[in-house]
Amino acid sequence: MTGAYTDLSVYDYPRTACPLCAGESIRTKYTITRYSLPFNIDMCRRCGFMFMNPRFNDGVVSSFYNEDYYRGNAEYSYYDEREAEKFARHVWDKRIKVLNRYARGGNFLDIGAAFGGLMRAASRYFTPYGIELSPYAGTEARRRFGSAVHIGTLDNHPFSENFFSAITMIEVIEHLPNPKTAVRECYRLLKKGGVLALQTANMDGMQAKLLKDRYAYFMPGHLSYFTRKNCTSLLHDAGFSRVKVFLPVEFGLLPKLMKSRYTFTSWLHYLRWLKITRYHLLSKLHYGNFAATSSMVVYAIK
Ligand SMILES: [Zn+2]
């Protein structure tokens, strides 16, 4: 522990074993001090899993997901999905279209549904359901989808086994205190042949490796950091029969460019498309466990 840890009451107890593989050889990899609450990132020598250790306690973690988080106003926050919806739809629609090639209709569940943007896109092919932790965002999603939205978590939802043909966790798994239990629960909820689609960072990507502790993905709400390899193992261990990894994401460049326009206020901002295009093309550079960037989307089929 460094001197930066002035208020110990915000932390949970420190883990002495890897939460993913139970390996007991773990070491502190980075200390992140750029936020008002500093935190350590530990790494397992056996499976390469990185995790916040000690992590913030449940009270602190849940305090992150308040109204300011969903309005994009907090120090550490999401963006206001409602203002961006008309642009973000390009990504959501394409994402659902690809998912439907694997799942072929049926019941769809978005975990971390926020205001229900992805659910709305899914309604084109699927019957959409959602789980949203935040009463602020979840109440709004309920206004659109009624009781199909559960305000709560994967630990206390009303959905039954073998009910869904597709489940999405888009940039959610890294926020969960127990990703292993979450993935197993998704497996239980999916019917045979159903698909779990998840997006998270690949810490084996050169982007993460070169930026080290400066990598922007190290945020107070991110408790778990996977690699392509240990994420694949996690899914196989949960019972999934087939795992497919898309680098950087499961769709092409165009929807990303269209989505990016939500921040543009001048024509000059279109220059940002050069940066996005460069990133997308760089992401195509991968071989085996090597990947130039750290974006990934993983499909797991039951
Ligand atoms: Zn491990």
CATH of the domain at 244: 3.40.50.150
Average pLDDT, the chain: 90
Note whether 89 and 166 are same-domain residues: yes
Tokens of 260: 């990016």
Domain annotation covers residue 3: no
Query: Which tens digit of pLDDT belongs to each residue from 240-296?
Result: 999 999 988 888 888 787 788 877 888 888 788 888 888 888 878 788 878 878 889
Question: What distance in angstroms lies between residue 186's CA and the mean position of ligand 1's atoms?
Answer: 21
Note whether 127 and 159 are same-domain residues: yes
What pLDDT sits at residue 67? 81
Question: What distance in angstroms lies between residue 250's CA and the mean position of ligand 1's atoms?
Answer: 27
What pLDDT sits at residue 2? 42
Question: What distance in angstroms lies between residue 43's CA and the mean position of ligand 1's atoms?
Answer: 8
| 89-124 CB burial, b ≥16 within 10 A, e <16 | bbbbbbbbebbbebbeebbbbbbbbbbbbbbbbbbe
What pLDDT sits at residue 3? 41
Question: What distance in angstroms lies between residue 55's CA and the mean position of ligand 1's atoms?
Answer: 16
Domain annotation covers residue 62: no
Cis peptide before 179 (omega within 30 of 0): no
Give the pLDDT mean for 114-126: 96
Note whether 277 and 252 are same-domain residues: yes
**265 or 127, which is more confident?**
127
Note whether 218 and 91 are same-domain residues: yes
Question: What distance in angstroms lies between residue 21's CA and the mean position of ligand 1's atoms?
Answer: 4
Question: What pTM does this model have?
Answer: 0.90
Query: Which tens digit of pLDDT belongs to each residue from 151-190?
Result: 999 999 999 999 999 999 999 999 998 999 999 999 999 9
Burial class (CB in 10 A: 0-12, 13-18, 19+), 149: buried
Question: What distance in angstroms lies between residue 177's CA and the mean position of ligand 1's atoms?
Answer: 15
Domain annotation covers residue 125: yes
Query: Which tens digit of pLDDT belongs to each residue from 186-203?
Result: 999 999 999 999 999 999
Predicted confidence band at 8 (pLDDT cuts at 50, 70, 90)?
low
What pLDDT sits at residue 112? 95
Domain annotation covers residue 25: yes
Note whether 26 and 79 are same-domain residues: no
| pLDDT at position 224 over 90 | yes
Note whether 149 and 25 are same-domain residues: no
Q: Ligand 1 is a single-atom ion; what residues have CB below 5 A from it? A: 18, 20-21, 23, 44, 46-47, 49
Q: What is the dihedral of CA 245, 285, 217, 31, to 10 degrees?
A: 110
Question: What distance in angstroms lies between residue 230's CA and the mean position of ligand 1's atoms?
Answer: 8
Question: What distance in angstroms lies between residue 89's CA and the mean position of ligand 1's atoms?
Answer: 37
Domain annotation covers residue 1: no
The total of structural domains in the chain comes to 2
Question: What distance in angstroms lies between residue 240's CA and the mean position of ligand 1's atoms?
Answer: 19
At which of 17, 33, 56 does a domain end? Answer: 56
Domain annotation covers residue 2: no
Question: What distance in angstroms lies between residue 176's CA and the mean position of ligand 1's atoms?
Answer: 17
Domain annotation covers residue 103: yes
Question: What distance in angstroms lies between residue 126's CA and the mean position of ligand 1's atoms?
Answer: 36
| pLDDT at position 40 over 90 | yes
- Residue 56 per-residue DSSP state: B
Give the pLDDT mean for 106-120: 96
Domain annotation covers residue 221: yes
Note whether 37 and 140 are same-domain residues: no
Note whether 73 and 205 are same-domain residues: yes
Question: What distance in angstroms lies between residue 24's CA and the mean position of ligand 1's atoms?
Answer: 8
Note whether 162 and 19 are same-domain residues: no
Percentage of residues in the chain with pLDDT exceeding 70?
96
Tokens of 176: 């969960």
Note whether 139 and 14 are same-domain residues: no
Question: What distance in angstroms lies between residue 279's CA and the mean position of ligand 1's atoms?
Answer: 30
Domain hosting residue 28, numbered range: 8-56
Burial class (CB in 10 A: 0-12, 13-18, 19+), 267: exposed
Note whether 101 and 50 are same-domain residues: no
Question: What distance in angstroms lies between residue 189's CA and the mean position of ligand 1's atoms?
Answer: 26
| pLDDT at position 6 over 70 | no
| CA distance linking residue 255 with residue 94, whole number of Å | 7
Note whether 42 and 174 are same-domain residues: no
